[in-house]
Amino acid sequence: MPAIDIRTEIPGPRSREWIARKDAVVARAKALWVPVFVERAQGATLTDVDGNTFIDFAGGIGCLAVGHSNAAVTARVQAQVDRFLHTDFTVLPYDSYVDLAERLCARAPIAGEVRAAFFNSGAEAVENAIKIARAATGRPAVIAYEGGFHGRTLMAMSLTSKIVPYKAGFGPFAPEIYRVAFPNEYRDGAGAAEACLDDLRRTLKLGVDPRSVAAVIIEPVQGEGGFVPAPASYLQGLREICDEHGILLIADEVQTGFGRTGTLFAIEQSGVEPDLICIAKSMAAGLPLSGVIGRAAAMNAPGDSAIGGTYVGNPVACAAGIAVLEEIDRLDLCGRARAIGQAVRARLEPLAARVPQLGDVRGPGAMIGIEFVRDPETREPAPELATRVFELALERGLVLLKAGSYGNVIRNLVPLVISEAELAEALDVLEGAIVEAAVSARVA
């Protein structure tokens, strides 16, 4: 029996009623990517208020590695709710914070003593990672990347590369941020890693004194930037440069962490040890929880009460985080991510021979990006084609998300618990949407 069940036009009448109510009371900036209101969700599917059931490749923007309404997570959360909701850990501590910290420190790809601190959002994790790096080094400057996304608070937004919609009109931005090129092998060729290492070296020679740089922050796979993986050789060279100059390396694993790339953390696949790791999103199955885990010497550098917040590491979200780690192991979701990625590639890579506008299918594990171009030779971005694929897929019951500096990438953030039958059904829809959109573009 198919998982997808579309009973009305999209959006349906009840969703349209809710959209009208939303428009009357919610700030206009909170625009809707998918104009349906959700009634319930389970695993990799969701049903809207009109009774339409979709397969979800958006996954709460990467928050649902263990799936919607995961039973183990729900049970752990309910048990914690029955005990208490909040105390503030530094006022009255509780077991779930320490339990989760122990589990994450034990699994961090960092040798030696490791410490953890928890926050609410990915942006907060980034903000605090920078504070920790500055405290540990006594230096002010930070290096970030073209195409990078790190959040919407002041420091995180300043580190973020894309102007519209994230930065336009919101300056002035935090000072002492320097931006370097990110290695994109699809657009820049096999020599991208070495060329971008040279760009970093040049920046440290001509742009900023390396003795004033506290940290380099990098996504092992750029998320909003278009699901662009950093080559292992680049990350290895970056680690060497950081070591040479006493600079801390921060891996922003907010979107890549918790199994999506086929390992618990994406940076593991390069063999590189970061100094600090930012985590969030799938960490607590969608509840607000984030963290920084890293070398004890750096994590312990800020003074007493220098990092924190009223709600950070709240007990309900920490309970969910424990259940998430247990589910990742119980269901072997790292292995499942690799299998999902293989299935997506097996379906889409041959399609490029029929659809030349399908420029690239890339990424580790299930973190697959699909880039659309107007011409395979010039590789001119085709955001309108990505948008049309999104629209056609939604009409047929598959929820997608776009990404990329030019808005021309479809990204896969499917819950890793998706069944084989659901995955095949979703890929049928995706393939059909790509073919139809490409044919329409050629006719136009």
Give the residue-averaged pLDDT of 69-74: 98
**% residues pLDDT > 70 (the chain):** 99
pLDDT tens-digit readout, 316-325: 999 999 999 9
Token look-up 């924190």 returns 308
Instruction: Answer yes or no: are the C-beta atoms of 218 and 230 closer than 8 Å.
Output: yes
CATH at residue 403? 3.90.1150.10
224 in the same domain as 339: no
Residue 270 domain-assigned (yes or no): yes
pLDDT, residue 353, reads 87
pLDDT tens-digit readout, 232-281: 999 999 999 999 999 999 999 999 999 999 999 999 999 999 999 999 99
CA distance 435 to 223: 25
**% residues pLDDT > 90 (the chain):** 98
> Residue 37 pLDDT > 70, yes or no?
yes
Among residues 6, 136, 103, 45, the alpha carbon closest in space to that of 320 is found at 103
Give the residue-averaged pLDDT of 107-132: 98
pLDDT, residue 422, reads 98
For residue 127, what is the DSSP state?
Answer: H
Residue type, 282: S
- Helix (H) or strand (E) holding 277, with range, is strand 276-279
193 in the same domain as 114: yes
37 in the same domain as 84: no
> Residue 425 pLDDT > 60, yes or no?
yes
Give the residue-averaged pLDDT of 381-395: 97
pLDDT, residue 378, reads 95
pLDDT, residue 439, reads 83
CA distance 96 to 118: 12
- Give the strand order in the sheet containing 53-56: 38-42, 45-48, 53-56, 398-399
Query: Between 315-330 and 95-107, two packed helices, what is the crossing angle to 10 degrees?
Result: 40
pLDDT, residue 395, reads 97
Tell me the residue range of the domain where 309 lies: 71-330
CA distance 205 to 199: 10
pLDDT, residue 103, reads 98
416 in the same domain as 381: yes
Instruction: Answer yes or no: are the C-beta atoms of 57 and 285 closer than 8 Å.
Output: no
318 in the same domain as 362: no
Q: How confident is the prediction for the chain on average, in pLDDT?
A: 97
> Residue 444 pLDDT > 90, yes or no?
no
Record the tokens describing residue 362, joined without a space.
Answer: 């890339």
Give the residue-averaged pLDDT of 211-215: 98
Instruction: Answer yes or no: are the C-beta atoms of 426 and 398 closer than 8 Å.
Output: yes
Residue 177 domain-assigned (yes or no): yes
Give the residue-averaged pLDDT of 161-182: 95
132 in the same domain as 186: yes
Give the residue-averaged pLDDT of 281-303: 98
Residue 4 domain-assigned (yes or no): no
Strand partners, 47: 40, 53
pLDDT band at 441 (very low <50, low <70, confident <90, very high): confident
196 in the same domain as 304: yes
280 in the same domain as 193: yes
Pick the last residue of a domain from 270, 295, 330. 330
Residue 298 domain-assigned (yes or no): yes
Which of helix, strand or coil describes residue 434?
Answer: helix
Residue 62 domain-assigned (yes or no): no
**DSSP H helical segments within 349-401, as ranges?**
383-395
Residue 126 domain-assigned (yes or no): yes
> Residue 299 pLDDT > 90, yes or no?
yes
Give the residue-averaged pLDDT of 57-81: 98
Pick the last residue of a domain from 263, 298, 330. 330
Pick the last residue of a domain from 330, 356, 381. 330
pLDDT band at 442 (very low <50, low <70, confident <90, very high): low
Residue 118 domain-assigned (yes or no): yes
CA distance 355 to 434: 8
Residue 171 domain-assigned (yes or no): yes
∠ CA 126-360-367, nearest 5°, is 40
pLDDT band at 440 (very low <50, low <70, confident <90, very high): confident
283 in the same domain as 166: yes
CATH at residue 83? 3.40.640.10
199 in the same domain as 324: yes
436 in the same domain as 390: yes
247 in the same domain as 184: yes
The domain tally of the chain equals 2
